[in-house]
Chains A and B, each alone.
Chain A
Amino acid sequence: MSRYPGFDTLALHAGQAPDTATGARAVPIYATTSFCFEDSEHAASLFNMERAGHVYSRISNPTVAVLEERVAALERGVGAIATASGQAALHLAIATLMGAGSHIVASRALYGGSHNLLAYTLRRFGIETTFVDPRDLDAWRAAIRPATRLLFGETLGNPGLDVLDVPAASALAHAHGLPLLVDSTFTTPYLMQPAELGADLVYHSATKFIGGHGVAIGGVLVDSGRFDWRSSGKFDVLTRPYEGFHGMTFADESTVAPFLLRARREGLRDFGACMSAHTAFLLLQGLETLPLRMARHVENARKVVAFLAAHPQIESIAYPELPSHPDQRLAQRLLPKGCGAVFSFNLKGSRAAGRRFVESLQVFSHLANVGDAKSLVIHPASTTHFRVPDDELSAAGITQGTIRLSIGLEDPADLLDDLGRALKAASRVA
């Protein structure tokens, strides 16, 4: 090849060649728990990581591997691990890097589930998190402690679409010998390749735009291969022998991918939050059209944003392409293809008006998901962020009147008609 294959080509081909046994062009679903060894010697060499291959589908599976390698190709990562969900990907990253006594600095503009994991669940296991304003680099810096092992944020914060300054956050992390993990679910590799901007680890809830059709739950954790775990001196888990896997020192085996080696050999083996072959197949069908879908998602989102921004019943709208958004200039720099298709707005009027609005929509579906081909709507304060205290809710830019939309691939005229009807219905509520 005289140049790297383009993004659209990788989305269709990376990770897979036509099946040598049958000639099948589509990715076969390898619905098998386990794989036959050629002989005892072959078995031993697979278990000891002397040869590559599949042993048991919790650790790796040929169908799942296609998804992993395709997402890694699109993200320019050294590899990826598919997981049972986006939450499982976040947990795998954290559990691979640290244990009790460790500390994380995280953006406060997070998906509610991620906030729960960090603020409540991991604390029970001895891992503390300090939440900071994602735009305040001084706050990130001040929160770093000797026990800190990770900086974490979302490329587009949920639900206010705070744009994470990935180059600045990664520079800060690296200056402290720490990796930066980002949740890139809202941006997908089509809109942003965080590894190229300095992020060290990237994960997706593949349930959303990667799958794109609302049919399967899954996550993908990508290692950029950029972080120097040895030089950091903070990650004995990768630079010291691990009794749990043949005394292996992962950083001796691989200079650029020791994190992934341990995450697979320990994390999938012991925590077991793997992805099934059927799920990987479904997600791959979506991934093949990611570039086409994301372009249309963004195009439709821009039309809806313009409609709402001009509507008298809308108090405010958070979309980074608007001059009113504090991250507009940053978005122009980091997200030149667009700011995605999930955003929130505040409706004028009472909480009842908001309820009437949501319930009056007919094309938009009222449910707890984003990134579907179909347009979706939800009221974060009573659903995704239900357990987040009011002060933290407010700090994350969410009010009782905030409504989140995920713009799908329908005819945009139908979306605008639907929103117009629902706004009219809401206006009749006192």
Chain B
Amino acid sequence: MDLGTPGRRIYAYTGGKPFDSTLPCVVFIHGAQHDHSVWILQSRYLAHHGCAVLALDLPGHGRSDGPAASSVEAIAERVAAALEPLTSPRLLLVGHSMGSLIALEVARRLPARVAGVALLATASPMGVSDALLAATRSDPAAAMDMINVWSHSPVIAPFAVRPGNPAPGFNVVWQNLRLMQRTASVNGSEVLPTDFAACNSYNGAVAAARALQCPALFILGARDQMTPPKAARSLIEACAQPQVVTLPATGHTLMAENPDGVRRALHEFTQRVFAGVTA
């Protein structure tokens, strides 16, 4: 379904079911150079287990109107404006990597609506090396390879995810690379440098975490080479109600490397934050 207004349309995958505005709603926010499909199993599962689901394509990504916004705050403005008219009783914001920073900023803008935030593979600051930032412009193909390598746990494990994501027979590593390439071909070459520059320049995460008025779940990958668990410490300490789940042997793209671990943690969290929520 589409959220937002003409020219500022935001596409949302609803988990294989029609969107039900009477149910509490889980909003999935993807990371840099990605789209809604990174949540394929988790979003479909929650949509069939008591929640309404909106897995967004961020502005300028996938099927949503562009351009990609140049700051975390600007992206959050667009997302909050699209979510604001919804009549869903409560929202749970789930963000991955760059999406986790956007979730914090959306929660800041819609405090009365947000029942919880789940931050996956998060960090503060979410710095990006100068070499990678430069490569996103000068050599995007090399930059995407670099990102793809560091997005997974070391060496061979991501080539042997069991029982596969989204099903047996699928390769996690090349799916991630092809998705980044697809975003570049469909949405343009500016998305990659814009997203990574937005992550690098954002410095409001700790303040946003401190301002949270709802429970926060941190889902971290023990073998995350991009945002290692220790990089989330300042955010965890800033939250009044943090819960931390560290998934063993899991890298940065933890929804793909450990889909069951992420699903389990999110499902338990929805039951906690949506308990007693009715239309």
Set of chain A residues within 8 Å of B186, measured between Cβ atoms: 228, 231
A48 within 8 Å of B by Cβ? yes
- Chain B: residues with CB nearer than 8 A to chain A? 13, 16, 35-37, 40-41, 44-45, 48-49, 62, 145, 149, 152-157, 159-160, 162-171, 173-175, 177-179, 181-182, 185-186, 225, 259-260, 263
Residues of chain A within 8 A (CB-CB) of B49 are 50
- Cα A260 to Cα B37 in complex, Å, equals 14
Whether A226 lies near B166 (C-beta < 8 A) is no
**Chain A 195-243 interface residues, beta-carbon cutoff 8 Å to B:** 224-226, 228, 231
Could you tell me if B166 and A253 are in contact, using CB atoms closer than 8 angstroms? yes
**Is A51 within 8 A of B45, CB to CB?**
yes
Q: Taking A73-B171, A79-B169, A264-B169 as contacts, is the C-beta distance between A48 and B164 under 8 angstroms?
A: no
Residues of B near A16 (CB, < 8 A) are 160
Sample of 19 further A-B pairs with CB below 8 A, known A246-B16, A255-B37:
A13-B159, A13-B160, A48-B44, A49-B44, A50-B49, A52-B41, A60-B167, A62-B162, A69-B170, A69-B171, A72-B170, A226-B178, A231-B186, A253-B40, A253-B166, A255-B36, A255-B182, A256-B175, A261-B166
Asked if B174 and A261 make an inter-chain contact with CB atoms under 8 angstroms apart, the answer reads no
Interface size for A (C-beta < 8 A) is 53
Interface 9-residue window, one of A1-9, A101-109, A112-120, A309-317:
A1-9
Closest to B185 in A: A228
A123 at the interface (CB under 8 A from B): no
Query: Would you call A79 and B175 a contact (CB within 8 A)?
Result: yes
Inter-subunit contact A256/B179 (CB<8 Å): yes
With A2-B149, A15-B159, A48-B44 in contact, do A225 and B174 touch (Cβ < 8 Å)? yes
Q: Which of B13, B157, B173 has the most chain A CB atoms closer than 10 A to its own CB?
A: B173
The answer to whether A252 has its CB under 8 Å from any CB of chain B is yes
Could you tell me if A54 and B168 are in contact, using CB atoms closer than 8 angstroms?
A: yes
A143: interface (CB < 8 Å): no
Partner of A15, one of B40, B160, B167: B160
Query: A277: CB under 8 A from chain B?
Result: no
Q: Are A62 and B163 in contact (CB under 8 A)?
A: yes
| Partner pick for B164 among A4, A14, A69, CB 8 A cutoff | A69
Residues in A whose Cβ lies below 8 Å from that of B157: 17
Q: Chain B contacts of A247 at CB under 8 A?
A: 16
Cβ of A254 and Cβ of B169 under 8 Å apart?
no
Chain A contacts for B13, CB-based, 8 A: 252-253
| Chain A, 123-167, CB within 8 A of any chain B CB | none
- Complex Cα distance, B153 from A248, in Å, reads 31
**B164 adjacent to A256 (CB under 8 Å):** no
Closest to B35 in A: A255
Contacts of B44 in A (CB 8 A): 48-50, 253
Q: Which residues of B contact A61 (CB under 8 A)?
A: 168
Closest to A50 in B: B45
Instruction: Report yes or no: B167 in contact with A264, Cβ–Cβ below 8 A.
Output: yes
Tell me the smallest distance from the CB of B109 to a CB of chain A, in Å.
28
Q: Contacts A5-B156, A14-B160 hold; do A72 and B260 have CB atoms under 8 A apart?
A: no
CB<8 Å pairs between A and B, sample of 17: A1-B155, A10-B159, A50-B49, A52-B41, A52-B164, A62-B168, A65-B168, A65-B169, A69-B169, A69-B170, A77-B174, A78-B178, A225-B179, A225-B182, A226-B178, A256-B182, A260-B170
For the complex, what is the distance from the CA of A247 to the CA of B44, rounded to whole Å?
A: 13
- Select one of B41, B62, B167, B174 contacting A72, CB under 8 A: B174
B171 touches A78 (CB 8 A): yes
Residue A68 lies at the interface, judged by CB distance under 8 Å to chain B: yes
| Distance from B46 Cβ to chain A, minimum over Cβ atoms (Å) | 9
Question: With contacts A1-B155, A225-B175, A256-B175 known, is A45 near B48, CB below 8 A?
Answer: yes
Contacts of A260 in B (CB 8 A): 169-170
Question: Given A17-B157, A60-B167, A72-B169, are A256 and B149 also a contact pair (CB < 8 Å)?
Answer: no
Q: Does chain B have a CB within 8 A of A257?
A: yes
Set of chain A residues within 8 Å of B153, measured between Cβ atoms: 1
Instruction: Assess whether A51 is in contact with B171, with CB atoms less than 8 Å apart.
Output: no
Cβ–Cβ contact A60 & B169, under 8 A: yes
The distance in angstroms between the C-alpha atoms of A246 and B260, with both chains bound, is 22
A62, B225: Cα distance in complex, Å: 28
Asked whether B263 lies within 8 Å of A51 as measured between CB atoms, the reply is: yes
Closest residue of chain A to B14 (Cβ to Cβ) is A252
What is the bound-complex CA distance between A78 and B178, given in angstroms? 8
Q: Does A53 contact B (CB under 8 A)?
A: yes
CB within 8 Å of B: which A1-42 residues: 1-5, 9-10, 13-17
In this assembly, does A80 line the interface, its C-beta being within 8 Å of a C-beta of chain B?
yes
Complex Cα spacing A68 to B167, Å: 11
Inside 8 A of A17's CB, which chain B residues have their CB? Answer: 156-157, 160, 162
Q: Is the CB–CB distance between A52 and B174 below 8 Å?
A: no
Check if A91 is an interface residue, CB within 8 A of chain B. Answer: no
Task: Among B48, B163, B169, point to the contact of A48 (Cβ < 8 A).
Answer: B48
B159 close to A52 (CB less than 8 A): no
Question: When chains A and B are docked, how far (Å) is the Cα of A260 from the Cα of B169?
Answer: 9
Out of A80, A246, A248, which one reaches B169, CB within 8 Å? A80
8 Å CB contact of A78 from B145, B159, B162, B174: B174
Please report the C-alpha to C-alpha distance between residue A382 and residue B200 in the assembled complex, in whole angstroms: 67
Complex: chain A residue closest to B164, CB-CB: A52
Residue of A nearest to B160 (CB): A17
Contacts of B152 in A (CB 8 A): 1
Contact (Cβ within 8 A) A13 B166: no
A1 touches B45 (CB 8 A): no
User: Roughly how many angstroms separate A130 CA and B226 CA in the complex, as a whole number?
Assistant: 50
Q: Known: A14-B160, A52-B166. Contact between A1 and B178, CB under 8 A?
A: no
Alpha-carbon gap, A15 to B37, bound state (A) = 22
A81 proximal to B (CB < 8 A): yes
**Which 10 residue pairs are nearest across A and B when measured between Cβ atoms?**
A225-B178, A79-B170, A65-B168, A68-B169, A50-B45, A60-B168, A255-B37, A72-B171, A14-B159, A256-B178
Give Cα A226–Cα B174 distance, bound, in whole angstroms: 10
Q: How far is the CB of B210 from chain A (nearest CB, A)?
A: 35
Asked if A54 and B163 sit within 8 Å, CB to CB, the answer is: yes
Q: Which residues of B contact A4 (CB under 8 A)?
A: 145, 149, 173
Residues of A within 8 A of B48 (CB): 45, 48, 50
